Amino acid sequence: MSQTATTARPRLVTPQFAMLGVAALAYFFADGLLVPSVPLYVTGPLASSDVSVGMAVGAFSLSALLLRPWAGRFADRRGRSTVMIFGGLVFAASVAGYSLADSVAMLVALRLLTGVGEAFFFVGAVTAMSDLAPAERRGEAISLFSLSLYVGLAVGPPLGEAVVGAIGFGTVWVFSSCAAVLSVVLASRVGDTREPGPTESGGRLIHPAAVVPGLLLLALVWGMAGFLAFVPLYALDLGLAGAGPLMFVFAGIVVVIRSIGARIPDRLGAARSVRLALSCCAIGLAIIGSWRAVPGLAIGTVVLGVGIAFGTPAIMMLALQGIPAAERGAVMGTVSMSIDLALGLGPATFGLVAAGLDRSTGFLTAALVATAGFLLASRTTHRSAALQSGG
């Protein structure tokens, strides 16, 4: 019996972990409701242009990008649950104010506040998850935790569109605010997840250990962001009626691997999983860009989906290796900045390349970025292995 106890894997899904996942699901559902509603509000009641849509949507990512490192330090000092509660309340209050926005400028100001809420809630939640996960099951924990984001962003947008069409924008803002308040209530029940010991992160805003993993995450998400923005148009170029089935396959692959295959990154190890993920992203994007036909788009989408499914859990595992508990918030705050950067830079550079050349070349350019990430991962992880072995 003692041998079984010794070899048994430590428990992952505890009541506290489950509560954290439900709190994150409520938050990402609130976020998902806004995805279609904000652009429709700008072009509808505010009667403004596509440029204004970009400003309103982008303001969210801008403030989230700038505030994530601060949120990480705050999480290390004050606790993860405190940061989640603060972020959820700011999110709820700002979205409730959308009903008062009678101009694009006012909406942009409120969207900046919503981004502040995003920075604090997300960093607090992902850091709490890293506290609760046993080190040998961290990849599995990140995979399972990320499902709350995918489910929230899968259910929220279609429901948001339906509510706008049936009842109006004001109801969407209320629903989103209420969901965010629910996430706050649930986050308060998670409690403090920090381990006993020092609670200061050394005052480092940008954690040096997170810089390389942040660059790897940037290379990973860059291509995905360009793919999601332009595959609907590229599908039409190839004669398809739309990209809906492809998007479903892409999302399905990510969800299946991160649920059924959640343990794979832990078994492969962080370094090997990162290299696998970035190589799949580079190959998938290269297939789409070079094989300019429907089969190429389909096969490339599948390979890219596999890379994205493994990538984020593996990179976060890599970032957290050997990091003291008191510095996890600072690391997660720094690494997660790459998500906002990639979501902005990926589509922007893709669009510039597509405008100057064509969309196929845009995919090839994104493949080069993923390849650069793979080379960086290979160099840094091999060097780290050599140092650990004394050579």
Instruction: Give residue limits of the domains in the chain.
Output: 13-190, 208-386
Whether the domain at 13-190 and the domain at 208-386 fall into the same CATH topology: yes
| Helix (H/G/I), strand (E/B), else coil: 196 | coil
**Cβ-count burial 193-217 (b if 16+ within 10 Å, e if not):** bbeeeeeebeebeebebbebbbbbb
Distances in Å between the alpha carbon of 194 and those of 273, 325, 329? 27, 7, 10
Question: With DSSP H G I counted as helix, E B as strand and the rest as coil, what are the percentages for the chain, rounded to 5?
Answer: 85, 0, 15
User: Number of C-alpha atoms within 13 angstroms, CB side, residue 88?
Assistant: 27
pLDDT for 221: 92
Name residues whose C-beta falls within 8 Å of residue 135's C-beta, 6 or more positions apart in sequence.
none
Phi, psi (degrees; rounded to nearest 5) at 192:
-80, 125
pLDDT for 288: 94
pLDDT for 114: 95
The vertex-254 CA angle with 372 and 71, nearest 5°, equals: 70
The vertex-315 CA angle with 362 and 389, nearest 5°, equals: 125
Residue whose tokens read 């998400």:
221
pTM of the predicted protein model: 0.82
* Mean pLDDT, contiguous 10-residue spans, the chain (391 residues): 51 88 94 85 83 79 89 89 96 96 93 94 92 85 86 83 90 96 95 70 72 93 85 84 80 87 86 94 96 94 93 89 84 87 82 85 93 92 46 41
Name residues whose C-beta falls within 8 Å of residue 239's C-beta, 6 or more positions apart in sequence.
294
pLDDT for 384: 47
**If one looks up domain 208-386 in CATH, what number appears?**
1.20.1250.20
Dist. CA 246–CA 255, nearest whole Å: 14
Distances in Å between the alpha carbon of 67 and those of 296, 336, 344? 40, 11, 16
The vertex-131 CA angle with 141 and 373, nearest 5°, equals: 60
Does domain 13-190 sit in CATH 3.40.50.300? no
Name residues whose C-beta falls within 8 Å of residue 119's C-beta, 6 or more positions apart in sequence.
63, 64, 65, 66, 67, 68, 70, 71, 87
